[in-house]
Amino acid sequence: MGDEFLPYDTSEYLDDEAAVEAYLREAFSTGDAELIQLALGNVAKARGMTFVAEKTGMSRTSLYRAFQRGSQPSFKTVLNVMQSLGFSLQTRRIDGNPEEDDAAKRSVHLGA
């Protein structure tokens, strides 16, 4: 007799802000675009696709399609979804030189 596995849905476990933030931070730390995409989709699902759709102006169907395995959402879609979830995309140096990071923060301001 073979093993039986219960369905697993990550979004069911993203039930508080600390879990969501840690999950996204870990996904982004990998640098794996597909993993980041799937993580954003899981968080969007946990928050409610209808809520995210309303905040982004996208349809629920488009959101599901954008964040399914193998799709390639536009950068604009990723940024809009991140913002709707209460997150922003920020940069930091890969080599982790804090002095250069601090200097960049003081000297650069990008207006929208």
Instruction: Note the pTM of the prediction, 2 decimals.
Output: 0.78
93 compared with 36, residue with greater pLDDT: 36
Note the pLDDT of residue 5.
86
Note the pLDDT of residue 107.
53
Residue range 20-64, pLDDT digits in tens: 999 999 999 999 999 999 999 999 999 999 999 999 999 999 999
Q: Which of 78, 17, 19 is nearest to 52 (CA)?
A: 78
Task: Supply the DSSP symbol for 12.
Answer: G
pLDDT bin (cut points 50, 70, 90) of residue 4 is confident
DSSP 47-103: H-HHHHHHHHT--HHHHHHHTSTT----HHHHHHHHHHTT-------TT--HHHHHH
